[in-house]
Structure 1
Amino acid sequence: MNTPAVRASQLPPPPEAFRLRDAAWHRASIGQALRHWDGRSDLWVFGYGSLIWRPEFDHLEARRARIHGYHRALCLWSRINRGTPERPGLVFGLDLGGSCEGTAYRIAGPRVPEILGALWEREMPSASYIPRWLNCHTAAGPVPGLVFTMDRRDAGYVTGLSLDRIVAIVRQGHGRYGPCTEYVLQTADALDAAGITDRRLRAIARTLRRTP
């Protein structure tokens, strides 16, 4: 059987295409995201990947939530957190279309600047995501939440990968936060524990657990 050809758009970009952002850029990006925040109110952040099982910030409340217009996908090459420039892994982004279930966290107003500063360092080492305000629909009603959506113009964006190719890339990735396989499986397990169904991710996880 012939192996399907890999399109150029499905190959990782060269290392020089990846550019880290500095503290000044982070401050400006946070300021832009918070331009309509009153500086006092509690703030909600939506997690759809590792933030579900490793939020690493204090929060007053966590609710199961769904956002519309975006879906969870392994659509971003990772050269730091779950891979290296030479052997990138894949991390989750919110790509256009569909909907996504995850966890909405309520952050106390006085802690917002501090917590978002640390969150930007973790989630935005480059400018791969676009922070947006979206309605997070919860059992107690909708809340406006800050959501990191995929920037499709970013050099690290990738789409159209087959399940087998995703698995191969994930298996090779290992970055500053550990193996890419661990990241994907822990996310899949956290969704299962919360009763959240993601059939695509479940299929990826099932394949990853098989002996290569």
Structure 2
Amino acid sequence: MTSGDNAADLWVFGYGSLIWRPGFAFEESVGAKLHGYHRSLCVFSHVHRGTPERPGLVLGLDRGGVCRGLAFRVAAAQADETVAYLRAREQATSVYLERHVPLRLDDGRRVRGLVYVADREHLQYAGKLPPQELLKLVRQGKGQSGENPDYVLQTHEHLRKMGVFDPVLAALAQELAPGLQATHPPLKG
């Protein structure tokens, strides 16, 4: 932590919908890197973007690589409330494991941040799916938080604005919204 931060402040790492819909109050948001994990559409959604009968797909942090996202600093006074909110949102079906991991902020600071990583032992862990299966699941998904294509398109657009290119999301976005600006090939499959 740097001298300007309260040692009890909470850092939260967003890599998907938390980037564009955090849902909690924060003091600052900063671009950040998380080493050891990568962003992946590897979680069958049974609540937020799908149902058990018609699952959608949402992002998880899966092992290996590096993930660029946003780190949010939450004031110490709101830390407990924020964690409770995130647990209710992210742990609806316990598909994620809560972890505190080292983050490297774009401004050079190093902090420990709260993240939710995909539990590879959970029945909703999808792993790496072929492109056409990704597209099928995303197109069919609709849950409590809305339609799955909207989730993919919103996440892709916000990552693009951050200068982050995710080839899987970009290819899906092109299939879901063919007029979208893109510099990537269509899904093959």
TM-score band by shorter chain is 0.7 to 0.9
Query: Residue 169 of structure 2 aligns with which residue?
Result: 201
Shift of 1:139: 2.2
Alignment partners' CA distance in 1, 2:132 and 2:81: 40
**Cα deviation 1:141-191 (Å, max 9, x = unaligned):** 211101111110001001231111101110000001100000011000000
Counterpart AA for 1:194: M
Counterpart AA for 2:54: R
Alignment partners' CA distance in 2, 1:137 and 1:201: 24
Counterpart AA for 1:43: L
User: What aligned pairs does 1:23-34 form with structure 2 within 5 A after superposition?
Assistant: none
Is it true that 1:155 corresponds to 2:134 in the alignment? no
| Identity score, percent | 45
**Cα deviation 1:2-45 (Å, max 9, x = unaligned):** xxxxxxxxxxxxxxxxxxxxxxxxxxxxxxxxxxxxxx710100
Alignment partners' CA distance in 2, 1:169 and 1:202: 16
- Which of 42, 50, 53 is residue 9 of structure 2 equivalent to? 42
Runs of 4+ in 1 over 2 A off after TM superposition: none
Q: TM-score, normalised by structure 1?
A: 0.78
Counterpart AA for 2:85: A
Q: TM-score, normalised by structure 2?
A: 0.88
Is it true that 1:210 corresponds to 2:178 in the alignment? yes
Q: Is 139-148 or 169-178 further displaced after alignment?
A: 139-148
Output the aligned Cα RMSD.
Answer: 1.5
Shift of 1:135: 1.3
Is it true that 1:77 corresponds to 2:44 in the alignment? yes
SS in 2 for 1:62: strand
> Which structure: greater helix fraction?
1
Query: Residue 67 of structure 1 aligns with which residue?
Result: 34
Alignment partners' CA distance in 2, 1:139 and 1:180: 30
Shift of 1:134: 1.2
Alignment partners' CA distance in 2, 1:137 and 1:208: 33
Is it true that 1:130 corresponds to 2:97 in the alignment? yes
Alignment partners' CA distance in 2, 1:135 and 1:201: 25
- Which of 142, 164, 170 is residue 174 of structure 1 equivalent to? 142
Alignment partners' CA distance in 2, 1:72 and 1:152: 14
SS in 1 for 2:165: coil
Report how many aligned residue pairs link the two structures.
173
Shift of 1:84: 1.2
Contact 2:33 2:106 in 1 (8 A): no
Structure 1 alignment gaps of length 5 or more: 1-39
Contact 2:49 2:148 in 1 (8 A): yes
